[in-house]
Amino acid sequence: MNELKTTTVEVRLPTRMGYEKVAMSTAASVAKLMGFPEDRIEDLKTAVAEACINAIEHGNRLNEKLSVGVVLRAEPDALEVKVIDDGTGIGKKPAKPDIDRKLHGEEDPRGMGMFLIQALVDEAEWVTGLDGKSSYVRLLIKLDKDAE
Amino acid sequence: MQSETKSRVDQLTAPSGHPVAALRFEGDIASTSKDAVLGAYQSLPKETTRLILLDFTGVDYINSSGIALVIQLLIEAANASQKVYCFGLSTHFTKVFTMVGITKYAGIFPTQAEALAAL
């Protein structure tokens, strides 16, 4: 898969916890074919898993009648992943988790998904669809992070 | 779809002579792992357990809900004046635990032998 052309892979997940691992595996396979190093593939797997968990839990509110779309677009120099749900998007991004506040019971121990996503990929943006009935998170991981 | 989390407790002795409780996890650590993580921790006798090792050698998937369970364990351990250490994490999850700040409250070691030697 070294030719310089764009390839798209799509996966549709049930709204059920645990199925984020299907998206993780698919993203890892595509990234491996593109030549990403192992450590970046691990970063991508965690970011994709967290994006899918958010879509299942918060976007689709665990409604099993809905599904989560995952679109992986392999470009010559980067892999873009969109995770699409039927939610209305995020109101505002949560603050960076503070372990001291968590340990002292001043902050919920949960709520680290978005922080991990942002920290592990090169670009992350949360987009609300124009109809207000769907939203997606777009992740971008660059093949040669240091080449800029 | 998630691989069930299994856990067991082993009682060890550090080279220094201190008794240590090792909580060994296997499978995924996710939102469904509450009993395996917190239940196993809560089964330890609080009066006599001062040092706890969390063994992640058999774990290959931890998500943010799983990390939250580890943080809840750390909260309960801190309230009981217990010290917690981790070993067996992959390079990636060592990085993730460092990023979220867990290393501030739980030392991370590559292996059980290195963890025990430091206690």
CB contact under 8 Å between A99 and B101, yes or no, is yes
- DSSP tag of A38: H
The rounded radius of gyration (Å) of the Cα atoms in chain B is: 13
Higher per-residue pLDDT: A111 or B28:
B28
Please tell me the predicted confidence (pLDDT) of residue B24: 98
CB-nearest to B67 from A39, A105, A112 is: A112
The rounded radius of gyration (Å) of the Cα atoms in chain A is: 16
Per residue in B100-116, pLDDT tens? 999 999 999 999 999 99
Per residue in A41-78, pLDDT tens? 999 999 999 999 999 999 999 999 999 999 999 999 99
User: pLDDT at residue B98 above 80?
Assistant: yes
CB contact under 8 Å between A53 and B63, yes or no, is yes
Per residue in A17-46, pLDDT tens? 999 999 999 999 999 999 999 999 999 999
User: pLDDT at residue A133 above 90?
Assistant: no
Taking CA atoms, B19 is separated from A27, B10, B53, B89, in Å, by 44, 11, 11, 22
Phi then psi dihedrals of residue A46, to 5 deg: -65, -40
Domains (range + CATH), chain B: 6-118 (3.30.750.24)
User: Element (H or E) spanning B39, and its range?
Assistant: none
> Which neighbouring-strand residues pair with A71?
A10, A82
Please tell me the predicted confidence (pLDDT) of residue A1: 54
CB contact under 8 Å between B71 and A17, yes or no, is no
CATH of domain A7-147: 3.30.565.10
**What's the CA gap between A30 and B8, in Å, rounded?**
36
Mean pLDDT of chain B: 95
**ipTM for the complex shown:** 0.92
Residue B43 forms contact with A (CB below 8 Å): no
pTM for the full predicted model? 0.93
Average pLDDT of span A108-114:
91
**Residues with Cβ < 8 Å from B78, sequence gap 6 or more?**
A103, B105
- Percent pLDDT > 70 in chain A is 95
**What's the CA gap between A110 and A99, in Å, rounded?**
11
CB-nearest to A17 from B31, B61, B67 is: B31
User: pLDDT at residue A145 above 80?
Assistant: no
- The answer to whether the CB of B68 falls within 8 A of the CB of B32 is no
CB-nearest to A109 from B30, B63, B71 is: B71
Cβ atoms < 10 Å from Cβ of A10: 12
For residue B91, the chain A residue with the least C-alpha distance is: A39
